[in-house]
Amino acid sequence: MVHALRRLGTLETVARAHDAAPGASVDARATIRVLCLGADRHEGTNPRATARAFVGVREAAWRAGVETVSVLCVGPNVKVDDGVDLNVAYDVRDRMSSSSLSSDVPSGAALRVEYRTGLYHDEAPPTLEEAPDVAFAFNAGVWGYDPSDWAPTIERVVIDERTPLVVTSYTLLEAESDEDAMRSSLSEFDDKVKWVWQAEMNPSQSTEVRDLGFDRSDYIDSEKDSSELKENSAWQCVAVRG
């Protein structure tokens, strides 16, 4: 995530916009809104776990002048632990990174997180004023779904909310298939969208090979794609022009 935020310049853009806002306090810091589409247990099932999952983003955000990382985890497979409610925002104020536990100086942004079960285009905030600054869909497998499943969410995020969408995949070939599927979903908006970067290998991919627990040949042609499956192995980013 941090690599994508740096490449997009999102943290610096959020910080500058906050500083330039009328009436902005000299002492106040900005908030970045991060949307996780198709979230699952990897993004955490409770606020503390999500805070750990986002520790790198929080540290980078603080260094850029951002005080709070506000995360919305949404998807049909969102699960939360007992005692954690859906549709409720939780604040985690431990701004200390693991490398600075002995210091009294905050080295990471605070975290605010909310979990919602469902599809984002059904669960999105009612107004665009709360639109995310960046959206991620990790290992989404967009290509493998009926176009009607992903198209409304992609349109809501990219077109309506004008939010850059980063989509990761297990292999480069899968990423290329995801790109084809998204281009099809956004075909009527060809003059409005651009690929900030097309499907390519992700320099910050996981080093662990993924054990799927099922026969991948049931879903893809192994002769065409024999690559090892790794979390976030490849990625791409689509956004509106201008």
pLDDT at 220 over 60: no
- Per the structure, how many domains does the chain have? 1
CB-CB contact of 162 with 61 (8 Å): no
Residues spanned by the domain of 124: 2-19+28-240
Q: Cα(22)–Cα(144) distance, rounded to whole angstroms?
A: 46
Give the 3-state secondary structure of residue 46. Answer: coil
pLDDT at 125: 85
pLDDT of residue 242: 80
pLDDT of residue 23: 54
pLDDT of residue 100: 45
Residue closest to 35 by CA, chosen among 176, 136, 166: 136
Residue 104: CB atoms within 10 A of its CB come to 6
* pLDDT per residue as tens digits for the range 40-88: 999 999 999 999 999 999 999 999 999 999 999 999 999 999 999 999 9
Q: Would strands 134-137 and 193-201 be described as parallel, antiparallel, or unpaired?
A: unpaired
Q: What is the pLDDT of residues 111-144, one digit of tens each?
A: 999 999 999 999 998 888 889 999 999 999 999 9
Tokens of 31: 């908030």
The predicted model gives 234-242 an average pLDDT of 96
Residues listed for the chain: 242
Range 170-187 average pLDDT: 96
Mean pLDDT of the chain: 88
Output the pTM of the full model: 0.86
3-state secondary structure of 81: coil
Report pLDDT digits (tens) over 86-114: 999 999 987 554 444 444 556 799 999 99
Query: In which band, very low, low, confident or very high, does the pLDDT at 18 lie, cut at 50, 70 and 90?
Result: confident
Return the minimum-mean-pLDDT range out of 28-37, 54-63, 146-155, 204-213: 204-213
Other CB atoms closer than 10 Å to residue 206's CB: what's the count? Answer: 15
Among all chains, which residue has been given the structure tokens 């985690």?
A: 92
pLDDT of residue 41: 95
How far apart CA 143 and CA 145 sit, in angstroms, is 6
- Categorize the per-residue pLDDT at 222 as very low, low, confident or very high, splitting at 50, 70 and 90: low
Write the CATH number for 149. Answer: 3.40.50.150
List, as one string, the DSSP characters of 131-197.
Answer: --SEEEETT--GGGS-HHHHHHHHIIIIIIS---EEEEESSHHHHHHHHHHHHHHTGGGTTTEEEEE
Is the sign of the CA dihedral 20, 112, 58, 97 positive or negative?
Answer: positive
Residue 26 has pLDDT above 50, yes or no: no
Given this model, what pLDDT does residue 25 score?
53
